[in-house]
């Protein structure tokens, strides 16, 4: 398997695109004609530039409206093809993509099209070039790869082959098993694109909403298994028409693209062990058995406010780092670390983002193997000098440049708290409040980054994503999507902020970047927890009384329960999976907060309650902090 991406998938001019593509590790690039036409250098210079970046041109495209034309248009299309053959030779590529004719003038007829391709094949052969035919999902006569293949078969020419594009096949729900019987040498290249399931016109869907394999909802793995079954092991080329990507950061999108291909290859190889597909070796997706800790960076002054807040939530200081200004607070299986070092990454994070949950650790089966999978998928490793008596904890950068550490029980990492920390007595009066574990970590990101982080988590960790939901903030919509595992031992919510007036957008603007905006803890008894919190001096976020009238009406709850919910400011939700109870802290700093949840079988996240929680939180931010709505 070789990796390629079409220039049309990225922003910038041709040189910017090529630089990003090369840097991300691709082998080749599809030169999209318009990217070349809009660039000032000669075709020869462009070819040289591509090769200087260490890339090959996987193909030149598209050549439109070719097959089945009546004369005199037919003669003109052949002249046009000769001109493009000249150009390809100057560029230094031997493959052109012809997409199926959409012209109203096209005559149709499978043998007529085959004859046109045979003649084109003859002309291409004279120059040592090859022509690949692709069925556009909206082609006038040919809109199905099975018909395109029949034309290629009947053209019966060694220089004419088929191009498969997952979007066109999957958008029309064509049975992918029809690919399995195509001889591999007749598949000249395979283009890949995913897309979110949206019911709309095929052309519009394709030109604006494609995304990287694994970022959308189409069955790319099934498509690729069928391709791999033919024995095809050549270029997999991303062709992603996406409005957001065109305006995005070319480097970041190229990295996502490369990751998506490697991950797809890995999935196919695991699903079809007998099939030859050359994909880099890597450990399987990583099972996470829990969150080992969440680490805050803070100045000493702010740390003391944060300590006061978490003490009211029932945490007690249990240990301090042997050599660093780092303290451990614990309750149940939850470890919160507060780092007030003046050097190193924690301190640098503080200087940029202020007090923030800049790092967390995950319990995995094998920390080194996890770091290895992350490396192969192109994640950015994190390393910093290890002091005497400290452990080297494998780590990578995640959302907002924050750190994800990996710990396992089979190495010394299992004893990190004993090795690096010494016991400390808590001098505060607070009492534990029955919190048992981290229920979820909520990260706020820019809307444009959502796909990046969904792919990041799902490709590395044994997780799945749930459908996107809209969270209504009084100042705009925030898109929310969950990455979680089956066991419920790892749950992330990703909230994508589109404007800075929302609570989420404000958080990003004021903390200078994406990051953890809230942590949700689990309890087995929300009412007992609420009572303990109150006696610790915790003041729950106050929820509008109108909410409780509605809850009573909507769910038919008994009045006594509703009274209790109301007096403790507990939000309620219920669905077919069970019941959910939520209690919030006030905001801390620029919009960070804690949540306490009790799940009675419930698997969701209380999305319907978000609007009430946001309205209440907004009231708490300093008055000048948020625009009035």
Ligand X SMILES: O=C(O)c1ccc(O)c(O)c1
User: Which lies closer to ligand X via its Cβ, residue 194 or residue 239?
Assistant: 239
User: Which lies closer to Mg ion via its Cβ, residue 116 or residue 239?
Assistant: 239
Nearest to 307 by CA among 331, 335, 323, 327: 327
- Beta partners for residue 575, in sequence order: 578
User: Which lies closer to ligand X via its Cβ, residue 39 or residue 133?
Assistant: 133
What phi, psi does 26 have (nearest 5°)?
A: -70, 155
CB of 80 to ligand X, least distance (A): 16
Q: Is residue 165 near Mg ion by the rule CB under 5 A?
A: yes
Which of 207, 342, 539, 600 binds ligand X (CB under 6 A)? It is: 207
What DSSP assignment string belongs to 49-69?
Answer: HHHHTT-EEEEEEEE-S-TTP
Binding partner of residue 62 among Mg ion, ligand X, none, CB under 5 to 8 Å per kind?
A: ligand X
Q: Which structure tokens are listed for 489? A: 């031992």
Residue 333: CB atoms within 10 A of its CB come to 14
Where are the strands (E) in 116-248, listed by range? 130-134, 160-165, 187-192, 235-238
Check the annotation: does 595 bind a ligand: yes
As a whole number of angstroms, the distance between CA 485 and CA 244 comes to: 28
User: Which lies closer to ligand X via its Cβ, residue 208 or residue 397?
Assistant: 208
Which of 31, 91, 97, 471 binds ligand X (CB under 6 A)? It is: 97
CB of 191 to ligand X, least distance (A): 6
Q: Is residue 213 near ligand X by the rule CB under 6 A?
A: no
User: Which lies closer to Mg ion via its Cβ, residue 97 or residue 482?
Assistant: 97
Q: Is residue 206 near ligand X by the rule CB under 6 A?
A: yes
Check the annotation: does 552 bind a ligand: no
What phi, psi does 145 have (nearest 5°)?
A: -60, -25
Q: Is residue 57 near ligand X by the rule CB under 6 A?
A: no
Binding partner of residue 282 among Mg ion, ligand X, none, CB under 5 to 8 Å per kind?
A: none
- Would you give the distance in Å from CA 450 to the centre of its chain? 6
- Beta partners for residue 297, in sequence order: 339, 356
User: Which lies closer to ligand X via its Cβ, residue 234 or residue 365?
Assistant: 234
Check the annotation: does 590 bind a ligand: no
Check the annotation: does 412 bind a ligand: no
For residue 544, give every residue at least 6 positions away whose Cβ sits within 8 Å of its Cβ, in sequence order, or none: 612, 615, 616
Q: Would you call 320 helix, strand, or coil by DSSP?
A: strand
Q: Is residue 62 near ligand X by the rule CB under 6 A?
A: yes
Closest residue to ligand X in the complex (CB): 62
CB of 297 to ligand X, least distance (A): 46
Binding mask 461-490 for ligand X (x = CB under 6 A): ------------------------------
CB of 193 to ligand X, least distance (A): 8
Binding mask 124-143 for ligand X (x = CB under 6 A): ----------x-x-------
**Sites for Mg ion among residues 185-204 (CB under 5 A):** 191
Check the annotation: does 397 bind a ligand: no
Supply the Cα-derived Rg of the chain in whole angstroms. Answer: 28
Q: Is residue 192 near ligand X by the rule CB under 6 A?
A: no
Q: How far is CA 55 from CA 58, 92, 260, 491, 543, in A?
A: 9, 11, 19, 39, 58
For residue 425, give every residue at least 6 positions away whose Cβ sits within 8 Å of its Cβ, in sequence order, or none: 317
- By CB atoms closer than 10 A (0-12, 13-18, 19+), residue 401 is middle
- Beta partners for residue 317, in sequence order: 329
Nearest to 472 by CA among 613, 581, 582: 613
Q: What is the 3 state secondary structure string of 600-611?
A: EECCCCCHHHHH
Q: Is residue 239 near Mg ion by the rule CB under 5 A?
A: yes
As a whole number of angstroms, the distance between CA 125 and CA 293 comes to: 63
Nearest to 240 by CA among 5, 44, 421, 41: 5
Instruction: Let me know: does 574 contact 580? Beta carbons within 8 Å.
Output: yes
Instruction: Let me know: does 58 contact 235? Beta carbons within 8 Å.
Output: yes
Q: Give the number of residues in contact with Mg ion, rule: CB under 5 A.
A: 3
Check the annotation: does 134 bind a ligand: yes
Nearest to 337 by CA among 383, 300, 293: 293
Q: Is residue 99 near ligand X by the rule CB under 6 A?
A: yes
Q: Is residue 165 near ligand X by the rule CB under 6 A?
A: yes
Check the annotation: does 576 bind a ligand: no
Q: Give the number of residues in contact with ligand X, rule: CB under 6 A.
A: 11
Binding mask 221-260 for ligand X (x = CB under 6 A): ------------------x---------------------
User: Which lies closer to Mg ion via its Cβ, residue 165 or residue 287?
Assistant: 165
Annotation: binding site for Mg(2+): 440, 518, 595
Which parts are annotated binding residues for a divalent metal cation? Answer: 134, 165, 191, 239
Going by the annotation, the residues of the binding site are 134, 165, 191, 239, 440, 518, 595
Chain contacts with Mg ion (rule: CB under 5 A): 165, 191, 239
Site residues (vs ligand X, CB under 6 A): 61-62, 97, 99, 134, 136, 165, 191, 206-207, 239
């Amino acid at each position: 398997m070789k990796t390629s991406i079409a220039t049309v998938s990225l922003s910038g001019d041709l040189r910017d695109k090529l630089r990003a593509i090369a840097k991300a590790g691709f082998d080749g690039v599809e030169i999209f004609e318009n990217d070349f036409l809009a660039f000032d250098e000669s075709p020869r210079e462009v070819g040289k530039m591509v090769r200087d970046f260490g890339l090959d041109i996987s193909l030149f495209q598209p050549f439109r409206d070719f097959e089945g034309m009546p004369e005199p248009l037919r003669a003109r299309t052949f002249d046009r093809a000769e001109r493009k053959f000249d150009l390809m030779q100057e560029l230094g590529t031997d493959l052109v993509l012809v997409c199926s004719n959409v012209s109203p003038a096209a005559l149709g007829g499978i043998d007529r099209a085959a004859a046109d391709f045979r003649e084109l094949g003859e002309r291409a052969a004279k120059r040592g070039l090859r022509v690949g035919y692709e069925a556009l999902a909206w082609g006038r006569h040919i809109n199905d790869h099975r018909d395109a293949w029949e034309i290629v078969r009947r053209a019966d020419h060694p220089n004419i082959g088929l191009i498969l594009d997952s979007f066109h096949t999957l958008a029309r729900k064509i049975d992918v098993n029809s690919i399995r019987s195509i001889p591999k040498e007749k598949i000249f290249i395979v283009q890949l694109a995913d897309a979110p399931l949206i019911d709309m016109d095929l052309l519009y869907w394709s030109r604006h909403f494609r995304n990287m394999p694994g970022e959308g909802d189409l069955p790319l793995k099934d498509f690729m298994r069928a391709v791999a079954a033919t024995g095809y092991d050549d270029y997999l080329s991303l062709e992603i028409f996406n409005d957001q990507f065109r305006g995005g950061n070319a480097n970041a999108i190229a990295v996502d693209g490369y990751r998506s291909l490697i991950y797809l290859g890995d999935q196919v190889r695991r699903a079809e062990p007998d099939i030859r597909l050359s994909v880099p070796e890597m450990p399987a997706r990583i099972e996470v058995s829990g969150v080992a800790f969440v680490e805050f960076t803070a100045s000493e002054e702010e740390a003391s406010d944060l300590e006061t807040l978490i003490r009211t939530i029932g945490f007690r200081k249990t240990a301090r780092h042997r050599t660093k200004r780092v303290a451990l607070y614990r309750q149940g299986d939850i470890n919160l670390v507060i780092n007030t070092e003046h050097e190193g990454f924690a301190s640098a994070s503080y200087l940029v983002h202020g007090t923030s949950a800049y790092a967390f650790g995950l319990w995995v089966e094998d920390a080194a193997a996890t770091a290895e999978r992350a490396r192969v998928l192109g994640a950015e490793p994190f390393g910093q000098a290890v002091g005497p008596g400290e452990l080297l904890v494998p780590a990578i950068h995640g959302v907002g440049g924050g750190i994800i550490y990996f710990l396992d029980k089979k190495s010394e990492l299992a004893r990190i708290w004993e090795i690096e920390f010494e016991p400390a007595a808590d001098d505060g009066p607070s009492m534990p409040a029955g919190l048992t574990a981290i229920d979820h970590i909520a990260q706020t990101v820019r809307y444009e980054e959502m796909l990046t982080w969904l792919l990041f988590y799902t490709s590395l960790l044994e997780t799945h994503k749930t459908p996107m939901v809209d969270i209504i903030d009084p100042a705009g919509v925030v898109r929310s999507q969950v990455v979680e595992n089956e066991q419920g031992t790892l749950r992330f919510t990703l909230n994508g902020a589109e404007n800075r007036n929302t609570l989420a957008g404000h958080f990003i603007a004021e903390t200078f970047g994406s990051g953890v905006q809230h942590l949700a803890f689990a309890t087995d008894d929300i009412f007992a927890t609420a009572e303990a919190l109150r006696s610790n001096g915790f003041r729950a976020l106050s929820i509008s009384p109108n909410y409780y009238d509605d809850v009573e009406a909507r769910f038919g709850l008994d009045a006594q329960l509703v009274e209790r919910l109301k007096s403790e400011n507990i939000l309620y939700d219920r669905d077919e999976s069970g019941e959910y109870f939520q209690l919030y802290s006030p905001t801390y700093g620029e919009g960070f907060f804690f949540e306490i949840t009790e799940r009675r079988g419930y698997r969701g996240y209380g999305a319907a309650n978000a609007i009430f929680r946001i309205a209440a939180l907004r009231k708490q931010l300093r008055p000048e902090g948020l625009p009035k709505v």
